[in-house]
Chains A and B, each alone.
Chain A
């Protein structure tokens, strides 16, 4: 398995203030890579730099040996897709139309979607278990349905690498597991490399093969769940007391919160 994404000494952020300050890590092909860290540690900013929404101040992001800034934007977006926690549609469009937008990086200007594009969209809707929604309007969907549709659109871009920024943030536990199972399946069966921000440390532990713990714009610790999710690391970064034991299901680290005040 080769290196898919290599981030070298990255700096960047907003206006004069750098949020990301000298950050480096690598993502291998086939990774299920989860990024954790407290609010304001730069997770989302890192994603915005890596998906070319924000300007990189210095450092490089290398995708399969090519600096991403040297790739045409459409070419980049046909290899790397992004899923955010919440999407709001400006105009009421149907699920099918929404998913077809994922074909934009593959289409030329003024080119209508072909039969093939519609087939791809349908196929991705099936993968995301959302085909039955295809004629519904995007704003009639529940949060869980909407997230599956957004993932289907990202898949329609036919990416090799998928970034997800807290894809489960608005979902109940049932839907959280459903979405993460879906992503795991895509990761295993379709060889899709996944880089995802998650707040829930136990979900991160259960699904990822590698975790990066971000703190103040740099990587505090990076490695397998067992290496990163220790109570020392978590306390140092989150300033919160936790207890880490072993998940009875799979032996992976299980983080238990310790309430600050003694409960009676």
Chain B
């Protein structure tokens, strides 16, 4: 098994490097690989590099969070945004814009909004100190709907500016100009991925059922708390700079589950790499399809993701 794993790893790694190379040389202007590091091209190179890094962070972070939530909630439809982070972040960002807070602080507002909504969902979903999957999902949905309606309300009252912010939010963007911001986000995202992988074996057991996992010596309640915290941290960090990017967290884990099976020890690293490739390519398409216009990244992930998913689903293998 380990041999097979190394092989698929190498292949994915190679693909990722190819994708990154294309991500760097292609764009509104194509720059040959050899000229990429020439001084004149330095600004373009830097911008593209930031985008590629953002794509990698978003892909790996969201896909791994998706895996963790799908396992602990035992729900194949669980996505990183299930627990209300997206609407919380969106609401906070829209409020910040309306209040005229400097653009610089929008990510901070979004992060706080996402964190706040997780706290609300988590405390609603807890019953006597025990987290129940169903009430967690339900409160996530309720909080999302409530916050989204407030967003729409604010947009209809305050008009254009808020509208622009909301649109950007709903479809996501990998356009991050600030390398410090990326570094700031990279830390919690990478930490979170590491922590989730650390619990890979427990995720295997928990996905069989909570009580069953307990009989295998897995401390389910505490592990669930830890994992919910870290998926929330990853999602909130990413959402604060990139908005909502759908489908990665759902589709890549399922595609990889079909390819390598549901063992999380294999599934997590493979999905992590595959999601990076997927996002780098999606970003590339969003920039190069109608240059200099840029198609929102969420549109691309959905357009590519949905049909691929349907094909896999219809191929007969179960998810």
Contacts of B207 in A (CB 8 A): 90-91
Give the tally of cross-chain contacts (CB within 8 A): 74
Tell me how far the C-beta of B64 lies from the nearest C-beta in chain A, rounded to whole angstroms: 15
Q: Quick one: given A109-B198, A112-B2, are A101 and B205 in contact (CB under 8 Å)?
A: yes
Contacts of A75 in B (CB 8 A): 217
**Cα of A73 to Cα of B216 in the assembled complex, Å:** 9
Chain A residues contacting B76 (CB-CB under 8 Å) are 91
Distance A48 CA – B215 CA, assembled complex (angstroms): 10
Is there a chain A Cβ closer than 8 Å to B74's Cβ? yes
Interface residue A263 (Cβ < 8 Å from any Cβ of B): no
Q: Name A98-135 residues within 8 Å CB distance of B.
A: 98, 101-102, 104-105, 107, 109-112
> Inside 8 A of A97's CB, which chain B residues have their CB?
261-263
B217 touches A84 (CB 8 A): no
Q: Verify B208–A51 contact, CB threshold 8 A.
A: no
Known: A15-B128, A90-B207, A90-B209. A105 touches B262 (CB 8 A): no
Q: Please pick, from A77, A82, A92, the residue contacting B262 in the complex, using a CB distance under 8 A.
A: A92
Name the one of B2, B201, B208, B216 contacting A109, with C-beta atoms under 8 angstroms: B201
Residue of chain B at shortest CB distance from A14: B128
Partner of A112, one of B74, B199, B265: B265
Distance (whole angstroms) from the CB of A138 to the closest CB of chain B: 9
Chain B 150-189 interface mask (CB, 8 Å, partner A; 1/0):
0000000000000000000000000000000000000000
- A92 in contact with B214 (CB, 8 Å): no
Do A51 and B212 touch across chains, with their CB atoms under 8 A apart? no
Query: Hey, which chain A residues are within 8 Å of B263, CB to CB?
Result: 93, 97
A94 CB, nearest partner CB in chain B, Å:
8
Query: In the complex, which residues of chain A have a beta carbon less than 8 angstroms from the beta carbon of B318?
Result: 92
B215: chain A residues at CB < 8 Å are: 51, 53, 77, 81-82
Interface check A88, CB cutoff 8 A: yes
Contacts known (A78-B217, A92-B318, A112-B265); A104 close to B211, Cβ less than 8 A: no
Q: How far is the CA of A105 from the CA of B217 in the complex (A)?
A: 6
Q: How far is the CA of A85 from the CA of B61 in the complex (A)?
A: 38
B211: A residues at CB distance < 8 A: 48, 53, 84
Contact of A105 among B2, B200, B216, B257 (CB under 8 A): B216
Q: Is the CB of B214 within 8 A of A51?
A: yes
Contact of A52 with B by CB under 8 A:
yes
A217 to B157, CA, bound (A): 62
A94 to B263, CA, bound (A): 10
Interface size class of chain A, counting residues whose CB lies under 8 Å from the partner chain? 20 to 34
Q: Are A101 and B208 in contact (CB under 8 A)?
A: yes
Q: A52-B214, A73-B217 are in contact. Are A101 and B204 (CB under 8 A)?
A: yes
Residue B219 at the chain A interface, CB threshold 8 Å: yes
* CB pair B201 A157 closer than 8 Å: no
Contact A88–B209 (Cβ < 8 Å):
yes
B239 to chain A, nearest CB (A): 27
Q: Is A3 an interface residue, CB under 8 A from the partner?
A: no
Shortest beta-carbon distance from B215 to chain A in Å: 4
Question: How many Å from the CB of A83 to the closest CB on chain B?
Answer: 9
Does A89 make an interface contact (CB < 8 A)? Answer: yes
Q: Which residues of A contact B200 (CB under 8 A)?
A: 110
Q: Which residues of chain B have C-beta atoms less than 8 A from A90's C-beta?
A: 71, 74, 207-209
Residues of A within 8 A of B201 (CB): 104, 107, 109-111
The answer to whether B218 has its CB under 8 Å from any CB of chain A is yes
**In contact, B217 and A87 (Cβ under 8 angstroms):** no
Q: A84-B212, A90-B74 are in contact. Are A74 and B217 (CB under 8 A)?
A: yes
The smallest beta-carbon distance between A197 and chain B, in angstroms, is 15
A109-B219 Cα distance, complex, nearest whole Å: 13
Contacts of A207 in B (CB 8 A): none
Give the distance in Å from the alpha carbon of A77 to the alpha carbon of B2 in the complex.
27
Q: In the docked arrangement, what's the CA distance between A157 and B76, Å?
A: 28
The minimal Cβ–Cβ distance linking A55 to chain B, given in whole angstroms, is 10
Question: Nearest B residue to A156 by beta-carbon distance?
Answer: B216
- Inter-chain contacts of B199 with A (CB < 8 A): 109
A76 within 8 A of B: yes
Distance in angstroms between the alpha carbons of A87 and B213 in the assembled complex: 11
Chain B positions 204-232 with a Cβ under 8 Å from a chain A Cβ = 204-205, 207-209, 211-212, 214-219
Can you offer 27 A-B residue contacts whose CB atoms are under 8 A? A51-B215, A53-B214, A53-B215, A74-B217, A75-B217, A76-B217, A77-B215, A77-B217, A84-B211, A90-B71, A91-B76, A92-B262, A93-B261, A93-B262, A93-B263, A94-B261, A97-B263, A101-B208, A102-B216, A104-B205, A105-B216, A105-B217, A107-B201, A109-B199, A110-B197, A112-B1, A157-B216
What 10 pairs across the A-B complex have the smallest Cβ distances? A77-B217, A74-B217, A91-B262, A105-B217, A82-B215, A90-B207, A90-B74, A104-B216, A73-B217, A53-B214
Apart from A97-B262, A105-B216: 15 A-B pairs, beta carbons within 8 A: A53-B215, A75-B217, A77-B215, A81-B215, A84-B212, A88-B209, A90-B207, A91-B207, A91-B262, A97-B261, A101-B208, A104-B218, A105-B217, A109-B199, A111-B201
Residues of A in contact with B (beta carbons under 8 Å apart): 15, 48, 51-53, 73-78, 81-82, 84, 87-94, 97-98, 101-102, 104-105, 107, 109-112, 157
